Chain A
Amino acid sequence: MKSVKNIKMDFVSSTVLDDKPRGKRINFILNKVKDGTILVTDGVLHADEEMELIRETMRRVDDGFPGIEVASLKKQTKGAQKMLESLSDQRDKFQSLIAGLTGKAPEKTSMKIGLTLIGPAKLIKKVKKNPDSFSVLTEM
């Protein structure tokens, strides 16, 4: 019988990531993923953070780490919840603007409600995404 390689999955609460400043959040994620861990969290990164995640991943690509696979599902908000999310977005933008003007590190921003999976591309063969779900095929 063939030996089965283990896959480590970390389910991290979004509050752990919310507590980190934006730059450190990306660092935290990539350090885990580069170590071979698949990270799952109950939140979704902001659009600019997702792009920052791709950029930072590219900086870290080497012979043993070809990159990442990401899949996320954002909860569709309605009514008052949507208004609260929009207000939160405006607050985040204002904080980023202040941070830019003062030269201080950007403040913490909350992740959006949803689900995100980020794993090493070496392990995740394919991510099949649908509007309301995704399936992940791993390779040992």
Chain B
Amino acid sequence: MVKFFDWLYALFGMKKNVRLGIYGSVNVGKTTIANRISKDWTGEEVGKVSKIPHETRFVQKKEKIELKHKNKKVMINLLDMPGLATKIDYREFIRYGMSKRAAKQRAREATDGVIEAIKWLSNVDTVLAIMDATQDPLTQVNITLLGNLEARKIPVIIVANKIDKRKARPDAIREAFPQYPVVEVSGLKGTNMDKLYEHIAKHAGRAR
């Protein structure tokens, strides 16, 4: 149905809202970036941020954000996805002080969240692949995500986040994935967000 509407929009030369998916591993700062984008353009945040992994367990949306860069204007629907993971152990949440029951519930919701995020891959137009610049970028989640987006011909911008941290090595991300545009930002401090908006305006919504 979504594809039918895309076709209809294209047929009549109408501009549709670009579905911008924010993907990445757990705790790389996806919601911090989503909040920063949303706050910069609408004044409102998208979701809650936490140090406990899998805080975002449902797809969080912020629709009709008008993003401008120079004379380019893009209307986006921001989709903040649950973090992708190959393992979710409820015992990890207990270490953050949660009760066993609450930890198990969080783990159940987190597994559903991963499934939901994967399902949404068929319905996004452009992806911001968020990576934590203080961590090794060559993880299977990053490799699988980028491989999948490439196979689906979905434009992707890698966001090297957390560059405000001393341990940050955004150059390692560039070296690992030289074929993709990489924007170095700090979602927390708002550093280089203009560069990210420039890339979004340039890449968002390129035909699949």
- Chain A interface residues (CB < 8 Å from chain B): 46-48, 50-51, 54-55, 57-59, 61, 63, 66-72, 121, 127-131
Contact = CB atoms under 8 A, between A and B. Distances in A.
A68 to B, nearest CB: 5
B148 A58 contact: no
Given A61-B107, A129-B140, A130-B138, A50 B88 contact: no
Contacts, number: 75
* Chain A at the B interface: SS class: mixed
B150 interface: yes
A70 B115 CA distance: 17
Nearest to B114: A58
Interface of B: 84-91, 104, 107, 111-112, 114-115, 118, 121, 136, 138-141, 143-144, 147-148, 150-151, 176
Contact of A50 (B104, B136, B148, B150): B148
Contact of A70 (B86, B91, B114, B151): B86
Nearest to A52: B118
Nearest to A121: B87
A54 B118 contact: yes
Question: Main secondary structure on chain B at its contact with chain A?
Answer: helix
18 contacts: A46-B151, A47-B147, A50-B147, A51-B144, A55-B118, A58-B111, A61-B111, A66-B87, A66-B89, A67-B87, A69-B87, A70-B86, A70-B144, A121-B87, A127-B140, A128-B136, A130-B138, A131-B138
B140 A48 contact: no
Contacts of B140: 50, 69-72, 127, 129
A130 B172 CA distance: 11
Q: Which of B84, B114, B121 has the most CB of A within 10 A?
A: B114
Q: Which 4 A-B pairs have the closest CB atoms?
A: A67-B87, A47-B147, A66-B89, A121-B87
